[in-house]
Structure formats: C-alpha cells, structure tokens
Structure 1
Amino acid sequence: MNIMNKIRLALAVAVLTLSTATSALAQAPLKIGYTSVEYVLSQMPESKQIESDLKAYSTQLEAQLKSKYADYQTKAEAYQKSASTMQEVVRADKEKELTGLQSSIQEFQRSADQSLQQKQQTLLKPALDKLQKTIDQVAEENGYTYVLNSDGASPVLLHGPKEGDISDLVLKKMGVTPGAAAAAKVTPAASTATPAATTTPSKTKVKTKKN
C-alpha cells in the first residue's frame, strides 16, 4: 500500500479558493507560498520506517486471513467428501459451522481494513505534526501569509493568520458554542484515553475544528 496516495485522508485541512478573497485581505500585503506535502513527506527520513512498519503490520493481517481461509477450505473439502453419508443432523451442523466460518472471514476482512487505516494514521501522525510545525516556522520566518499545498487539483491551506480562521464564526452560525465539546471532555470520567482516541491524530493548527 502506498502511504502517499492516502495522505489526504490523514490531513484534515480547509480548501482555500483565492477567487473568493475579501476586499480587506486584498488591501493587506500578502505573501503566498506553496509546497508539495507528498514530496516533502517522501523525502523525510521517517518515511521509510513508516512504509516498513505498515508493510509488516499488513503482512501480519494477511497471514491471519490466510490461516482462517485455509481452515475453512480444509473443513469445506472434508464436508464435500462425506456429506452424502452424513446423518441429516450432522450435515446440518457442519453446514452451520461452514457458514459461520464464512461470516468470520468476511468480518475479519472488514476489521483488518479498518485496523490498517488506523495503524497508518498512527504511524503518520508524528511525521505530519513535524511537517506542520516546520511549515509554520518557515512561513513565519520568511513572512508568508499563506502556504498552500500544491498537490492535487485544488490548493489547500496549510498556514494562515489566526484572524483569518473563521471556524468559530461557522460554528456559531450552526448554533454550536466553540470550545464547548472540548471542555466537556475534560472530566474525571473522560480523562482516560480509549484505544480509539489514542490512534486518532490530535488536532494541529491547520486541523482545528475541521471534520
């Protein structure tokens, strides 16, 4: 699996359409830069280790799936050879067992796909956090107002001034109080992270309040 083809699944960022820039922004001096996230990630030393770890994890899942399928084939072949001589109650029991094995294989395939995606996000998170931090530093040091991702057909906002973030205004427009959900999570009952929470990328500047 090529990690770089799925980078956009790990990046939750807002699309910036330059044609809709407001007159206020147009009056202010803007310095716009761009970068290829896929290219930079591919050049980072972490990339090879991420690929290696993900491949190893995928191989483990594939081995488990093959084992389950081999068990099913063995029992299916045994059933076919002796089905005609089986008593009806025994035959029904064997058919039920085979049906259960089929369902188990299908469920494992679905679970493995989800697990692989979660593993990918977990492995990518440190590299993406490092990349975002570096983008912010380079933008601030060199006076860039916006940094766009040049990958894909549409440019994507990777850095922008705080006053340009309209996330809270959008939430209020929908009747949602900004920060309320985050505050509700800071309670004794919710202080312990669940497995799912530990594999979910934490919000960085560009990911704030994006779905």
Structure 2
Amino acid sequence: MKQKTFFSIVLFSLMAFSAFAQTTLKVGYADIDYILGNMPETIKAQADLDIVKDRLIKTRDSLVIDYNTKLKEYKENAETLVPATKKETEIKLTQIERGIQRFEADIQTAINIKKDELLKPIYNRIGVLITTVAKQNRYTHIINSQIDGNSVLLYAEEKTDISDLVIAEAKK
C-alpha cells in the first residue's frame, strides 16, 4: 500500500513537472507613456483639456483685472475716504484677493480632474490593445517599462518591446 502511495506521488510529480516544463514563458514590455503620446485620442483629449484650461484662466484673469481696478481706485481715493469706508473697502479687497487665491488652487484641481476624466477611457483602450497584441503574438506576460518616468526594467531585448505594435493596433 505504501508503495502505491509513493508511486502515485512520484507519478503525479512527474506529470506536474512535465506540464510545467512544456509551458513556455514569453515576456514582453510596453512603454505606456510612449503609447499614450502616440494614440490618436490623446490629441483630442489634450485639445479638450486646453479648452477647459483656457476658460478657467480667462475667468481668473477677469477676476484679477477687476481686483486690480478696485485696488487702483482704492489707492487713488484712500486719503479721502472716511475711516469706516476705508476699512470696509480694505476688507472687501482682502476677500477678493483670497477668493482669487482659492480660485487658482481650484483651477489646478479642476484641470487634474478633467485630465483624469479624459485619459481614463484612453488608458482602458490601451489595456485592451495590449491584451490583443499580447494574444496575437503569444506573449504570456507584458510589463510596463516605466512607472512615473522611472525604469522598472533592468534589461530587456528590444524585440520584446510591443509599444509600436500596440500603436499600430490602435490605428487599425
């Protein structure tokens, strides 16, 4: 009985080893930033983002112009103003200045939110394209060559870079 159990274990191990030995790994890599920069959708997304950015900056600029006009008017008339009116005007100018500062911070937040909104479907499409190219070329694994501009690859053969294949697939 012990021999049958031992033989079964050995036989199972041999089958598992031979199955593993027949599995060929084919690893490729892609540069997501490079692909993103060459996607047709990225140009439109950047144009849409620029429109939003321009609108926000124009709004900010009009607020600054209005503030500067009021500040200039205040400085020209400060000596003739009643102390209570002078104090009230200074408070209003300070509130406007703080509002502009908050708006400038909100501009960057709004731009980042819009950028994420515009790029999310493009990144999703890149993921689908990478899967398609990987399957077509029988890759078992695809890794990103960079993360936040830092290389994560220590070495890779140039022929395993599928970035241009992904871009070509995007243009089909």
- TM-score clears 0.5: yes
What is residue 9 of structure 2 aligned with on the other side?
Answer: none
Amino acid at match of 2:150: A
Distance in 1, Cα, partners of 2:152 & 2:73: 58
Larger radius of gyration: 2
1:157-172 equivalences under 5 Å are none
Provide the alpha-carbon RMSD of the alignment.
2.1
**3-state SS of the aligned residue for 1:34?**
strand
**3-state SS of the aligned residue for 1:147?**
strand
Q: State, as a whole percentage, how many aligned pairs show the same letter.
A: 32
What is residue 114 of structure 2 aligned with on the other side?
Answer: 119
Report how many aligned residue pairs link the two structures.
132
| Highest RCO, 1 vs 2 (Cα 8 Å, sep ≥ 6) | 2
Give CA deviations for 1:45-86 in whole Å, capped at 9, x if unaligned: 112111111111110011000001001000000110111111
Query: Runs ≥4 in structure 1, deviation > 3 angstroms?
Result: none
Q: 1:68 aligns with which of 57, 63, 66?
A: 63
1:31 aligns with 2:43: no
What is residue 98 of structure 1 aligned with on the other side?
Answer: 93
Output the TM-score relative to the length of structure 2: 0.71
Amino acid at match of 2:75: Q
Distance in 2, Cα, partners of 1:100 & 1:30: 64
Shift of residue 97 of structure 1?
0.3
Task: List runs of 5+ in structure 1 lacking aligned partners.
Answer: 1-24, 157-211
Give CA deviations for 1:136-168 in whole Å, capped at 9, x if unaligned: 122233222221222333328xxxxxxxxxxxx
Structure 1 window deviating more from structure 2 (30-39 vs 64-73): it is 30-39
Distance in 1, Cα, partners of 2:57 & 2:79: 34
Output the TM-score relative to the length of structure 1: 0.58
Amino acid at match of 1:130: R
Shift of residue 29 of structure 1?
3.5
Task: List runs of 5+ in structure 2 lacking aligned partners.
Answer: 1-19, 154-172
Give CA deviations for 1:89-117 in whole Å, capped at 9, x if unaligned: 00000000000001100110111110000
1:155 aligns with 2:156: no
